[in-house]
Structure 1
Amino acid sequence: MEMLEHQKVVLRNVSSNKVLFENEIKKSIKWLNKIDLMQFSRWLIANFNDKYPDIISKYIDKTAA
């Protein structure tokens, strides 16, 4: 499993815990390459922006996503 898909699975699994969710986003940003990071950003916004808009906006530049 590639890192992007792995991080999606992890984030789905920790999405009920805001602290763990934010920590995994930080890890993802460090680990993913630029292309995967763009896909990751779009995926985060599409799947979690309603639940954690504060965290998403803190780490993801929506104009770049």
Structure 2
Amino acid sequence: MKVSKRCPKCESTEMIRVEGTAGPYGTGNNIAIGATIFSYVKVPRYVCCECGYAEEWIDPEDLPKLKKKFG
């Protein structure tokens, strides 16, 4: 969905990007890479507005941080 701009389930092109968040106590759509709220990688979701299918993608600039922590 992120690349094709098309839903793989219903072929719709109507979709939205829901930004990832990092809140207190680890809430939100994120991956912790450190001990503070400032050390999270936010995980945005792409949602089809026609059928509701959703995918999560990591932004390319955050991949090195994940490789360093988990790689």
TM-score (norm 1): 0.28
Per chain length, whose mean CA-contact separation is higher, i.e. which structure has more relative contact order (CA < 8 Å, sep 6+)?
1
Q: Which has the higher strand share?
A: 2
> Greater CA radius of gyration, 1 or 2?
2
Q: Which has the higher helix share?
A: 1
